[in-house]
Structure 1
Amino acid sequence: MADAGSPAGYRPPTPDAADLIAWPEDFGTRFAIFVDTEEEFDWNAPLSREGHGTSAIAALPDAHRRFADRGIPITYLVDYPVATDPRAVDVLRGIVADGRSAIGTQLHAWVNPPFFEEVTPANSFAGNLPEEVEAAKLDVLTEAITEAFGAAPRAFRAGRYGIGPATLRLLAARGYRLDSSMRARYDYSGEGGPDFAGIGNAAFRAGPVVELPLTTVFTGALRGSGAGLYWALGKVPKARGVFARAGLLSRIALTPEDMPVADAIEAIAVAAGEGVRVLNFSFHSPSVAPGMTPYVRDAADLAAFHRWWDAVIGELERRGIAPVSSDEIIAAAVLPASAPIR
């Protein structure tokens, strides 16, 4: 997905200093992993309500075991095709029986009933839909997950990071307490999606919901120039790639998908040095099976995916950055019972 720098999409307000989470002293610096637990589809084709499967879910237990054996909980953000597939639900029930991992929610609007809207790029961002349509889709999905797993989900992510002005208020009214839809320092407005260029890595309160942005940092010799230089480079063809290859400026998100491990390790150092208290990692569930995403095309890519995690977890352990579950994040944030959402 490309960054266009256009103000056309929804732009969440930059949080006030008073809204930033003041983590307890003994919380330290922690890391969390959220998995977009979703159907498989052709990433090169237009979005469709048909032609997808959930077979990659069968590969999750082996991948999960690699984390669980090191005491790392994962929050699986489940979308509608997964939540309504009995075989996928059985697999995920077994996984979260570890006691710390959890089931959350991910809304893919184009495969989530009710279907009032056309399937278009703009409508794939659920926050672009009329509020009553976004709410209806969220209700159907929340009910499906609650019925499938026996508990109401408390963590949420919008598919394609597609939140809108009503999303956080809708989540709060339905008992959600953690959102991870904002991808710090990314801008999807060129595709009709939201603009997170003004959102940093710090967790903050949005009423009774804690917003935990996906961690993204700038690295390189010119990283002090950060977002301003990065957006300026975006106006010059290929300039960002030239600067990245020269070691001058790169934007690094904490994901094994298309982010080299050396860059991720440098990003961990930068994030920790900048005082980020919760490093938020993410990947798509189909990436644990070869051939389901462009990031893991074959067995060699899958082996590299696991090596990436081995190296990154080793670096986190070396730095004393411990894992944290979504429930532990909610508890440590000490959210107010209610507050207005701007």
Structure 2
Amino acid sequence: MRGPFRMPAVERGERVRWLADFGRRFMVFVDVEEEFDWAAPFTRSDYTTTAIRALPAAHRRFADAGVALTLMVDAPMAADPQAVAILRNVAGDGRSTIGAQLHGWVTPPFEEAVGVRNSYAGNLPPALEAAKIDHLTHALAEAFGKPPIAFRSGRYGLGPSTLGMLAARGYRIDSSVRAYHDYSDRHGPDFAAIGPAAFVRDGMLELPLSTAFIGAARSQGPWIYPKLARLPLVLGGMARSGMMSRIALTPEGMPVAAVIAAIDALLAGGEQLLVFSFHSPSLVPGHTPYVRDARDLSAFWEWWEMILDHLAERRVVAASLADVLTSPDRRPAGADRTGAG
């Protein structure tokens, strides 16, 4: 049994250079998935798919604000005719897009033991991970009329072979990396060396979930945080004192004031693409730890209103998946951007 996958740091030549007219953009990814008990052991069958009924109203809110959604759909949702019909309508807005999200424990073939380690698909034998990707890709192509080109491994479960597998199957974008996060203490991948910038590796455009360090010591975050990762009391004290916090761009568990500070830190650091994400079951109270009741759901939408207002003030414009695919500058890093390169 191999150890956790540790993704190597991004090299200068891998980092994406955006075209001059790209400006500053943001994307919203939605993990469209089944509802299950997040505190219970993993299971292949104990889930429901009812929260999808809240997606059309949520989509209208985002569409009215000019925001395209990238909908990362997993196998149980692709197998639910009602969910497929709802998702077809949402993706029919001309800007939102269907992508793939792999929850390995509920995606055939079922050859592995169900448990925490195997919930990260990148830990599976490569042939089994590839077979699950193939099943999911085929299911989505059947459901929506064309194969997806954007992929996310559930639980950020990227493995050493995943990107190459995806490129070989026609995928173009992966979003399985959570910048500056290390899940190796629970058998998951280690992304501590990966920052928020988009990069190209193994033929795939990688769009990490945007994360920033905020606070007085934020500039030291990328190297201090990994050293203190096993000392939660120390990290909690640093956050409470305002010295340093690690903030991801998600309404789930991240206070709006901290996310606004993270947005500003990312923009100040030169990031041109901000990547947000949330889970579709959070649209209905009681399905995730982040939206437990009606008050939490109201706070969820207040969070988005404040964030979208702040992005508008900072002139950060919503981008669709198609916008992002057509905007990287394909010349090597260091090429003359005003000449032939």
* Pair in the same fold by TM > 0.5: yes
1:225 maps to: 220
Query: Deviation digits for residues 205-252 of structure 1, max 9, x if unmatched?
Result: 113310011101000011121122223333435111111011110000
- Give yes or no for the alignment of 1:297 onto 2:292: yes
- Give yes or no for the alignment of 1:307 onto 2:302: yes
AA aligned opposite 2:255: P
Q: 1:237 to 1:58 in 2, by over 3 A?
A: closer
- Give yes or no for the alignment of 1:250 onto 2:245: yes
1:92 maps to: 87
User: In the TM superposition, what is the alpha-carbon distance from 1:106 to its structure 2 partner?
Assistant: 0.3
Q: 1:218 to 1:64 in 2, by over 3 A?
A: same
**3-state DSSP class of the match of 2:98?**
strand
Count of aligned positions: 330
User: In the TM superposition, what is the alpha-carbon distance from 1:17 to its structure 2 partner?
Assistant: 0.6
1:135 maps to: 130
1:51, 1:237 → 2: CA distance? 32
2:285, 2:316 → 1: CA distance? 30
1:279 maps to: 274
Q: 1:235 to 1:164 in 2, by over 3 A?
A: closer
Of 302, 326, 329, the match for 2:324: 329
Aligned ranges for residues 147-226 of structure 1 at < 5 Å?
147-226=142-221
Of 5, 8, 16, the match for 1:13: 8
Query: Deviation digits for residues 232-274 of structure 1, max 9, x if unmatched?
Result: 3334351111110111100000000000000010000000001
**3-state DSSP class of the match of 2:101?**
strand
Worse-matched range after superposition: 118-127 or 202-211: 202-211
1:339 maps to: none
Aligned ranges for residues 6-85 of structure 1 at < 5 Å?
8-85=3-80
2:156, 2:91 → 1: CA distance? 24
Q: Please identify runs of 4+ aligned residues in structure 1 that moved more than 4 A.
A: none
1:82, 1:199 → 2: CA distance? 30
1:44, 1:96 → 2: CA distance? 32
Worse-matched range after superposition: 278-287 or 8-17: 8-17
2:149, 2:330 → 1: CA distance? 13
Sequence identity percentage: 53
Instruction: Return the TM-score normalized by structure 1.
Output: 0.94
Query: Deviation digits for residues 131-164 of structure 1, max 9, x if unmatched?
Result: 1100100000000000100111010000000010
1:4 maps to: none
